[in-house]
Amino acid sequence: MANLELAMTEHSIEVAIVYATRDRQWLKEMHVARGTNAQELVVASGLLQEVEALRGVAVRDLQLGVYAQKVPADYMLEQGDRVEIYRPLRADPKEVRRQLALLGKTMGRGPVKNSE
């Protein structure tokens, strides 16, 4: 039994995958074979079937990251990685800031003060 456990730790790594909406978060911790990439983890996690917003979405169309750093689908996972599936942005943050500035506002900080 101890030899089997040792073999599993030598040939597998522990990783996590997360997805979040405004109302709910999904977090799965998994053991996968060394050499597994981010795309394979997404498929193996079952989130594409479990999460309604991801049903029917091709893995290649997903934006993925590891600890808030965008990664390609073929990124090779390392021990302890947390793969994040990003939702598409509803609005470009730069454009939102530009529009608010035209109105004399900022994001969450009240009106812009003129320094004279």
Domain ranges of the chain: 2-93
Q: Which H or E run contains 23?
A: none
Q: Is the pLDDT of residue 70 over 50?
A: yes
Check residue 43 and give its pLDDT. 96
Q: What digits encode the pLDDT tens for the residues 28-67?
A: 999 999 999 999 999 999 999 999 999 988 988 999 999 9
Check residue 1 and give its pLDDT. 40
Check residue 18 and give its pLDDT. 97
Q: What CA–CA distance (Å, rounded) separates 10 from 31?
A: 11
Higher local confidence (pLDDT), 102 or 71: 71
Assigned architecture for domain 2-93 = Roll (3.10)
> How many CA atoms within 13 Å lie on the side-chain side of 66?
19
Contacts of 47 (CB under 8 A, 6+ apart): 17, 19, 26, 28, 54, 85
Chain-wide mean pLDDT for the chain? 84
